[in-house]
Amino acid sequence: MSKKQTEILVGGFVVLGMLAILFLALKSANMASFSFHPTYRVLARFDEIGGLKVQAPVKSAGVTVGRIADISFDNKSFQAVVALDIDRQYAFPTDSSAKVLTAGLLGDKYVGIEAGGDEKNIQAGESIKMTQSAIVLENLIGQFLYNKAGDAGKDGAAKK
Amino acid sequence: MQAQRSPIAQTDDLLVSIQDVTFGYDSRVVLSHVSLDFARGKLIAIMGSSGCGKTTLLRLIGGVVTPQSGRILFSGATVDTADRAALYALRRRMGMLFQFGALFTDLSVYDNVAFPLREHTDLGEAMIRDIVLMKLDSVGLRGAAELGIAQISGGMARRVALARAVALDPEIIMYDEPFTGLDPISLGVTANLIRRLNDATGATSLIVSHDVEECFQICDYAYLMSAGRVIAHGTPAQLKASEEPEARQFIRGEPDGPVKFHYPAEPIAQALGISP
Amino acid sequence: MNPAEITAVLGRTVIDRLAGLGHAAIFFADLVRHMFSSLRRPYLTIAQVHAIGNRSLVIIAASGAAVGLVLALQGYLTLSRYGQADSLGLLVALALVRELGPVLTALLYAGRAGTSLTAEIGLMKAGEQLVAMEMMAVDPRVRVLAPRFIAGVLAMPLLGAVFSSVGILAAYVVGVWMIGVDEGQFWSQMQSGVDVVKDVGNGIIKTLVFGVASTFIALYVGYESKATPEGVALATTRTVVISSLSVLFLDFILTALMFSTP
């Protein structure tokens, strides 16, 4: 095998490998962690965030508009303080509301923003005032059982 | 192009000097306090039975192993204390023929002989081609230049290795058991080659072998070793006339003598249970 | 054996093992050190990439296709039970890119390229070729060992990517064309679920680490093998065993580091 032939074959091998890597990176994966759009940070306080994690998406009308940047606990108000990095190209009115929602029925938690009607837009550093906490399954079940028990009690009392 | 000759004055006309060298591994001593001198331009044989330490001598000269005590001088420079760069510079002036050739199996005959030229000189391919063909011609294998190593016989392999060993025209050529396992014709060819090369190039030749007859036919001087010591040395004529018992036994090939025939054991009468 | 003897034997074994480990570590450091001198003669490395990489392509691609096919079949069986057959693409891609691609490629590499490296170095040692090179004032570590090391480390990520890609394509063929999973769902679920940095990137890092480990082991075992035919044969089996175990163990550590939930 001549030197030239070997070099050509090796070059081909390297190209093939690179193509495979590119294929994996582009066709099979998303570039979500690569969005380089500038963002602005907005805060939101929740009584309960459920399993919300940092890097979870922030969506509005189902479209991802940003990411959760930080989650911390306020020891005075005993609320969760969530920092949202929203894409600069999207502006929301100051009276928008933020809810902690679940993707699918039992999926990961994310934050959904519903736009309000105010003329002014929320600026970096400000807080979203209206928030709705996550629905925690245990509380739901507990409520359900409690209600059921309550109904049974009423029926029982009515029957007597 | 070639490595520079050492500016240090040569000691007499001695090219290599082994001075009071002791070498061994944890378990055993291979050489104990041996001293040998090899004069420039001469063909010297180092003989002895297997395990007497003769191959180790070649490795000591080449700096592959270092002695526990003593010095090894090559053209005035100390081999055993040389650092890597200095050692490499010395090695470029040596040529070594390994017992089975040690050719590079992934290269052709031509590329094997060209290897030292390509590594250590800046000569162009045309010049290298001339030198390689000349070296192969001197060992009679110019026609085999394009063959692969797998395609040549053992005897041919050794000749190619010889051509490779002399590619840079070294000052010393060391042969590790060059006569072992050769048929009579190849024996004659090899012995002849070694002698002719020595005379033609003026290099010093060191042969490690236990073939007394072939060595005596071509060497100028010989050392006889046994169990890590030099037991006799001299010209072939002097050695043949030696009175030293071990030397006599070795040179004449006598089955019994200082080197016993019987492996140490109790007397046979005792082993067979016969009372004497 | 009395306690004193047992302690002596244990102590000697520990010291021997430590010395062996140190010897191996020095060998590794030497390999890395001589990488740079070796790159001054790039053709040496290129020739080795051909021997290690090109020659392994067929087995890697074939295995990748086979694994992709099987993943598609088995994945469909289980997913369709929960009505999630549309997630087949996501399942196959994640399984391949995160784990099966790097690990299986490394195991195959150890078997094919690792053993050939060990045998080659072992035979060169047995035939005194390495000493001959030293006697000709050429450093075998620069000329023989380092090029093979570089080539192995370079080739592994490329081979791993080929394995995973072929696997995904094979799963596509089986899943979409033969079984009938929805083509759009196959790719879109995959694309939304596989992250370039976290999944593909970590997978590539894994192949790099496995490449370093396997190639180093193959070269070291070959270099330290006994210079006899039996010694070389023993060395090749040792390479496969040690490489495979190391790869699996390293995979555990890397997976724990990369994919554990924070």
B/C Cβ contact: 3+ pairs below 8 Å: yes
Residues A53 and A128 in one domain: yes
In a domain, residue A94? The reply is yes
For the whole prediction, is pTM greater than 0.90? no
Q: Which of residues 63-82 of B touch C (CB under 8 A)?
A: 64
Q: What's the mean per-residue pLDDT of chain A?
A: 83
**pLDDT score, position A141:** 86
Residue that has been written with the tokens 């602005």 in this structure: A40
pLDDT digits (tens, 9 = 90+) for A87-140: 888 888 988 999 998 887 767 788 999 988 888 888 888 888 888 888 777 888
Section B68-83 average pLDDT: 87
In a domain, residue A159? The reply is no
Residuewise pLDDT in 10s, chain C (262 residues): 688 888 999 988 998 888 888 899 999 998 898 988 888 888 889 999 999 999 999 999 999 999 999 999 999 999 989 888 888 999 999 999 999 999 999 999 999 999 999 999 999 988 889 999 999 989 899 999 999 999 999 999 999 999 999 999 999 999 989 998 888 888 888 887 888 888 888 999 999 999 999 999 999 999 999 888 888 899 999 999 999 999 999 999 999 988 876 5
**pLDDT score, position B9:** 32
Residue B64 and residue C135: Cβ atoms within 8 Å? yes
Residues A96 and A80 in one domain: yes
Q: Which of residues 64-123 of C touch B (CB under 8 A)?
A: 123
**How many domains would you assign to chain A?**
2
Residues A69 and A120 in one domain: yes
Residue B62 and residue C135: Cβ atoms within 8 Å? yes
**pLDDT score, position C127:** 86
C162 with C62: CB under 8 angstroms?
Answer: no
Residues A9 and A59 in one domain: no
Residues A81 and A124 in one domain: yes
Q: Which is nearest to C150 in space by CA: C34, C58, C55, C241?
A: C34
How distant is the Cα of A72 from the closest Cα of chain C, in angstroms? 15
Residues A107 and A81 in one domain: yes
Residues A135 and A87 in one domain: yes
Residue C136 and residue B102: Cβ atoms within 8 Å? no
- Write out the residue range of the structural domain in which residue C211 sits: 3-259
In a domain, residue A13? The reply is yes
CA distances to A29, C79, C116, C240, C252 from C162, in Å: 16, 26, 21, 22, 22
In a domain, residue A135? The reply is yes
**How many domains would you assign to chain C?**
1
The answer to whether B216 contacts chain C (CB < 8 Å) is no
Tally C-beta pairs within 8 A across B and C.
Answer: 44
- Write out the residue range of the structural domain in which residue A18 sits: 1-30
Residues A76 and A97 in one domain: yes
Section B84-101 average pLDDT: 90
How distant is the Cα of A119 from the closest Cα of chain C, in angstroms? 35
The two most distant CA atoms of chain B are separated, in Å, by 81
Of B64, B89, B119, the CB nearest to C134: B64
Residues A52 and A122 in one domain: yes
* pLDDT for A156 beyond 80: no
**pLDDT score, position B4:** 31
Q: Which residue of B has its CA nearest to C129?
A: B102
CA distances to C16, C220, C231 from C20, in Å: 6, 11, 18
Q: How confident is the model at residue B6 (pLDDT cuts 50, 70, 90)?
A: very low
pLDDT digits (tens, 9 = 90+) for B243-252: 888 888 888 8
How distant is the Cα of A105 from the closest Cα of chain C, in angstroms? 14
Residues A18 and A45 in one domain: no
Instruction: Quote the ipTM score.
Output: 0.81
Q: Which is nearest to C161 in space by CA: C211, C221, C224?
A: C211
**pLDDT score, position C174:** 93
In a domain, residue A158? The reply is no
Residues A17 and A56 in one domain: no
CA distances to B26, B27, C3, C18, C25 from C12, in Å: 16, 17, 14, 10, 20
State the Cα–Cα distance between residues A55 and B30, nearest whole angstrom.
70
Q: How confident is the model at residue A69 (pLDDT cuts 50, 70, 90)?
A: confident
Residues A93 and A23 in one domain: no
Q: How confident is the model at residue B255 (pLDDT cuts 50, 70, 90)?
A: confident
